[in-house]
Structure 1
């Protein structure tokens, strides 16, 4: 903890029980929402309802001395805020209220319902209405979770409403009287906290889907889409989902956060040292920590990397924060790591050395930065052509049909892409000829945006247009997953089911491909080989169809299709697969790099072909020799084969003895620059474990980050550090978790989902494994990536691996 800060415990059980939301008023009174209805157990002996307590500082030391009840009879309370006029706004999981104290006796005597979530009922505690904040210009801003994928409707006191089905959580606003309800942004999982920074930015914390992290801090702009839709399930993995702006029309997060961020506050309102000015503080419940995030300008938005400010023990579970006029930070603490009410609670105060805040915290004048939109056609086009996704998002708020169609017909690809996104959101009809032309565009973003349009507004008849564009080879291989998703959307049964869905969960809607659809693509020689390769990767039954794989391996000359076939054969259980792969590897007419990959793939098979591999050394082809020597190391290198290999190594043109003898003998004369082709071989070696956890171009595991474009973000120095010291820096989205099961066995994984009694952990296979009533679970101290993987490589191989990763861009 920073030596210039101090943290003090100022209240605890029994005076304070399971506290969540907190706020302060102009008199520095502290309002705390006590939770008693959060899935209480049958034997819970606390109060029947949630309640709001007021703490008053009598002796002037900033610590509340007296507590009394402000409001009672509250159910499913989530969060609260107070405006400068003293009105307290309370968010419950399905309602928002305004509380006032008209007679000034410190007890609320007026309670007005402003917003109500009419459907669904019931809703899970963390999937309904979550956060609330207010602005001096008469608005309150509220966050809503994904409602568990059910159809939803929120109604204001004036009768205005918004509703949806299949979308993500959202940010909405209404007047302080509950009128003029409107959506501000969408695309969230469960956005728990909302606040406005000292610079007028509307900020939200969002929890992550089951299989896609991290939790995140995002800046909100009008019309922003942050990537998640419950229509595509809870995993977060789908061609039409994004989490960090990966998809056209979606926005990136400002900062990654650890698991279960519950609240944020601008450190500029604290009495912390001036170096924290402009930082955001976040309470991270699951990780027992408070972090601070130095935010820097990124175009019109912001970005930052969190740093640990306070690390508590296992009984520190911070929830909400508020500051007083002196800049002290009050922090509620749930204490015990269990969701049901349990009767414990604490209140902390964090203070700096100063008795004055850097900035006086008053109610924000407005969320103006989020709402500033371009007004003229020229300004809209200028924003749409910007490299800044936040400016583009603001410009897409127009529903001018004439302008939208002009953009779709533009000769500038970026304007066409933006026009398609606007047409989708405004339900503007685009004729089939134009759709075909857009699908035939050479720009991948235009293709994907067109399919996003068709997936939302298309009819079954559009399937023929899409297949026609595919047939002429217009779609890129990278757009293939979006193509399959769109075909599923245009299935008449899906369109009908979506239109009639009421109470059912959106993820229950079936999205089927026509029978044999992918197989027909894989086996059609008229289809572009790169797309056939993508289809092979997307085909669940690929490894069960040996005859088809054998036909491709024997007939094709396209390297990407052959590579996909080799990977599929590697995973095949067919008894003839290994012999077929050996035949390919031994064929001198085949591409040498693919032969080398095949040899490495054979390492995953039980069969041993040691004598055959000896003969491959005679060809004296560098990359083939590297793979062959790696294979031969499984063939008892201290047995009869040792002399044969040593004799062959004396005859080859490049000294590769270090691969054969490693780690017993030192290397000699390796080049200083790594060979990417060698690195690719190393990446796919089973003992290197790279492909076990990482994907490249769609092939590999899911436990670690996708490395398909790692060279764009990391140079060789950072890549080296991440391999040699994997635990030195662990990004929040790749934080590991451990579970100790009932038998005492230790398990690790990446994502965790904790229920009342059971725990689900995403393991190395990419599946969630359920552990019933485990003995323990928590954050893994070390990276999931094992240390010392480089020790199984020669320096030459390690340099090659770095070169291979660096060129993945």
Structure 2
């Protein structure tokens, strides 16, 4: 047992002998992170050598703070030990509100991740491979009894993608989070023998009784639900990491049978067409908010949820705003540290203080440093009182649906536009004995049928024996035979998950449908390659999928519409089809769709051979004029501010559409800026100029050459740095105009940029881009669309910015006519 004054660690000395018997160099005065909430103060409670690499924490019934100290998370070869993890207890022995005594509560276990207190003084501890409960039977302050409640059997061994987060629900159940487990098959067995099995479906949340009985699956589709909590209204919240190429990390409102979209079997990038991250696929649910990188804990504090962000060196706050039967929020930063601040676990004491652990370094390997901090509110009584938002009428309706026995009521709710209302009906039907009597014919709408199919899929996942393969296959076949996109998408996804060759013919049959939507086409192609090649792409690009897309694009027996979709989905880096092949399709396509997509792909490639093909198209009098004009825009998209015609080609003899595009590209900056135009703030004056009219085809060319697609995707091509813009079709033109004139007025949480101050005094701005794993650099995309990296040791400070990554002044770089055309392209009316 060790006693220490509250602020001893504010005056640490160098070379203190560690608890492992070696010297550890410690900074004389650890720099506290900045507290950005008025009136709150911060204190350092403990640090190395007394506490190293801390993870989760919780308070026990005696008011002691229990803290996991990790020694098994990637220990280096020369790590001196101990060989197992520890749990320390920090106590306030004189009731002055300060933790003044440290003792060892428990030693044992590997890859220990989660802690929570049960109602009867048991302490639940989650390691990667099991969940156990600990108890101090003889009252000496040390746990002397351990009972395993849940075991995870699997080949995967990575420390923090197995079992981790734990929380106790208002229903008395213990909720347990499981990470993606590298997609490996697993068996999860509770103490009473109840089981859940799976593999490849991504992270899950399960629940079981505190005695280790009645194991059930609650929700799926996570990367890693590492931190979990219940708020005072009974809602379950979780935070978890993001895939390699699909930010952001997420704060999620978890509801029974919810599918949050991610499946490891389809690759770790998160960009596979059969994966969702924000409710993009039918039957999946959106997140409440994007969070900072590597969120580890979520905790209700007052009227907000607080989240620790290990990767962004901060603690965040989320005030909830109602969104149907769920909630949304935006990030506010409460505490911001430097690159040596890595908050992990959080717990709130009875006096309102917030304790949080600090891993300190970016290294995943244990490293003999660590911190324990205390945040003290200005009014401790008010800080502890929970004032989280009460349940809305929609939430109460969802609760009622989950317990409804009225099949007609549940079927009607399947068609509800609020996905959380519909999910309540899915949960009730999946758990109902009457599900077996329902078929797709019982539901009138495409959306409703897709959700009924989702209920069957959930039943099959949780209780495989209850859905016979013949019944499952009949349901999928029936769904693939419908004409609704939503139902067929769920069916393609379910069939691809099964990875059975029998579904290849059904997928190929769908590809014969000329009216196939881009999303369903992409899902079918992805389903074929997943089943046929039995591989998951490791990155954003999938060689097997690209090969199939090239085969479809090159197949002259297919319709031009289907071939155009294939070209649309090929990345610029693809080698096939060749530039010359694309050039031939531009000339031979009788409908125009294939030609247009071929030109867009050539523009993205921007190689010398692609430029030569585009130049030949531009000057070929046998090519339709709209394609020649597109070729001009494509050439300008490569950064050319002037396009010179070959000798002997007279611009005045070219079609008017081509001449106009050439004139726009070759116009001098003076001729553009010389136009009289209103101030950016005068929206109504701008609306009088560009609020109606315009040529959408010409606007498509403006979009191509004005650099828009260096950040935005439209019709399947472009970058995903900014919002996808195809969905603007039918939107209010004024709202879109406002976002162009004043891009910083409203910034979506996914697209919040960062301001970086370097040690050399440089100030940089950029949007943080995915950097998988642990490295020595952070990556950003600048306002020019180009990616840059900064070494961690070169960063003095970085924080979120209120200035959009989209630069202001686009309206000054193009003519008024071009802006009008651009708006006509972005907001076509039905």
Query: Quick one: distance in 2 between partners of 1:446 and 1:135?
Result: 34
Correspondence 1:139-218 to 2 at 5 A = 139-218=173-252
Deviates more, 1:557-566 or 1:352-361: 352-361
Alpha-carbon shift at residue 266 of structure 1 (Å):
1.2
- Spell out, residue by residue over 1:366-417, the C-alpha distance to the aligned partner (whole angstroms, 9 max, x if none): x996994433322331332222222333333426697457432244322321
Paired residues of 1:192 and 1:262 also in contact (CA < 8 A): yes
Match of 2:446 in 1: 413
2:359 alignment counterpart: 334
Give the drift of 1:217.
0.8
Change (3 A) 1:479 1:612: farther
SS at match of 2:562: helix
Which of 324, 334, 338 aligns to 1:299? It is 324
Equivalent residue in structure 1 for 2:807, among 784, 787, 793: 787
Q: Corresponding residue for 2:372?
A: 346
Q: Tell me, yes or no, if the aligned pair for 1:9 and 1:349 is still in contact at 8 Å.
A: no
- Take 2:788 and 2:804, find their aligned partners in 1: how far apart are those partners? 17
Find the residue that maps to 1:709 and give its secondary structure: helix
Decide which of 621, 631, 635 is 1:602's aligned counterpart. Answer: 635
Task: Indicate if the aligned counterparts of 2:637 and 2:704 stay in contact, CA closer than 8 A.
Answer: no
In 1, distance between residues paired with 2:199 and 2:456? 19
Please give the alpha-carbon distance, in whole angstroms, between the structure 1 residues aligned to 2:433 and 2:637: 57
1:535 aligns with 2:553: no
- Whether contact under 8 Å (1:210, 1:751) holds in the other structure is no
Cα shift at 1:309:
2.4
Determine helix, strand or coil for the equivalent of 1:143.
Answer: strand
Q: 1: CA distance between counterparts of 2:87 and 2:420?
A: 38
Question: Which position in structure 2 is the counterpart of 1:479?
Answer: 520
In structure 2, the partner of 1:390 is 420
Work out which of the residue numbers 306, 311, 317 in structure 2 matches 1:281. Answer: 306
- CA distance in structure 1 between the partners assigned to 2:790 and 2:152 by the alignment: 34
> Could you say which residue in structure 1 is the equivalent of 2:700?
680
Deviation at 1:341, TM superposition (A): 2.6
Match of 1:40 among 75, 80, 83: 75
C-alpha distance in 1, partners of 2:314/2:575?
46
Distance 1:614 1:802, change over 3 A: farther
Provide closer, same or farther for how the CA distance between residues 543 and 661 of structure 1 changes in structure 2, counting only shifts above 3 A: farther
**Deviation digits for residues 38-97 of structure 1 (CA, Å, limit 9, x no counterpart):** 223344456443222222223433221222221123432212111232211111222212
What SS class does the counterpart of residue 272 from structure 2 fall into?
coil
Counterpart of 2:338 in structure 1 is 313
Pairwise CA distance, 1:304? 1.6
Note closer, same or farther for the CA distance 1:126–1:738 as it changes in structure 2 (3 Å cut). farther
CA change 1:730–1:386 in 2 (3 A) is closer
For residues 183-582 of structure 1, what are the structure 2 equivalents within 5 Å?
A: 183-268=217-302, 277=303, 279-342=304-367, 343-356=369-382, 359=385, 372-397=402-427, 398=430, 403=435, 406-410=438-442, 411-425=444-458, 426=460, 427=467, 429=470, 438-439=479-480, 441-457=482-498, 459-491=500-532, 494=534, 517-524=548-555, 527-539=558-570, 544-571=577-604, 578=611, 581-582=614-615
Assess if the C-alpha contact under 8 Å between 1:208 and 1:216 holds in 2: yes
- Distance change (3 Å), C-alpha of 1:48 and 1:550: closer
Taking a change above 3 Å as real, the CA distance of residues 400 and 370 of structure 1, as seen in their structure-2 partners, is closer
Report if aligned partners of 2:259, 2:283 keep a CA contact under 8 Å in 1.
yes
Q: Could you tell which deviates more after superposition, 536-545 or 155-164?
A: 536-545
Task: Give the distance between the partners of 1:140 and 1:175, measured in 2 at CA.
Answer: 6
C-alpha distance 437-136 of structure 1, shift in aligned 2 (>3 A): closer
Change (3 A) 1:236 1:383: same
The more displaced of 381-390 and 773-782 is 773-782
Residues 260 and 773 of structure 1: CA distance in aligned 2, closer, same or farther (over 3 Å): closer
Please give the root-mean-square deviation of Cα atoms over the aligned residues, in Å: 4.2
Q: Secondary structure at the match of 1:247?
A: coil
Check whether the contact 2:76–2:365 (CA below 8 A) recurs between aligned residues.
yes
Within 5 Å, give how 1:763-774 maps onto structure 2. none
Counterpart-to-counterpart distance in 2, 1:19 and 1:516: 47
CA distance in 1, matches of 2:471, 2:274: 20
Give the 3 Å change call, closer, same or farther, for CA 314–730 of structure 1 in structure 2.
Answer: farther
Contact 2:778–2:792 under 8 Å retained in 1: no
| Cα distance change on mapping 1:400 and 1:33 into 2, 3 Å | closer
User: d(CA) in 2 for partners of 1:370 and 1:132?
Assistant: 26
Q: Is the 1:704–1:734 Cα contact (8 Å) retained in structure 2? A: no
Tell me, yes or no, if the aligned pair for 2:755 and 2:764 is still in contact at 8 Å. Answer: no
TM-score, structure 1 as length reference? 0.82
CA contact (8 A) 2:259 2:284 kept: yes
Uncovered stretches (5+) of structure 1, i.e. residues with no partner: 269-276, 498-504, 638-658
**Aligned length, in residue pairs:** 755
TM-score, reference length from structure 2: 0.80
Equivalent residues of 1:158, 1:178 under 8 A apart: yes
What's the CA shift for 1:194?
Answer: 0.6
Task: Determine whether 1:16 maps to 2:57.
Answer: no
1:738-757 pair list within 5 angstroms? 750-753=768-771, 755=773
Residue 271 (structure 1) aligns with: none
Cα deviation, 1:112-143, whole Å, max 9, x if unaligned, reads: 1222222124x222211111112365421111
Contact persistence 1:544–1:572 (CA under 8 A)? no
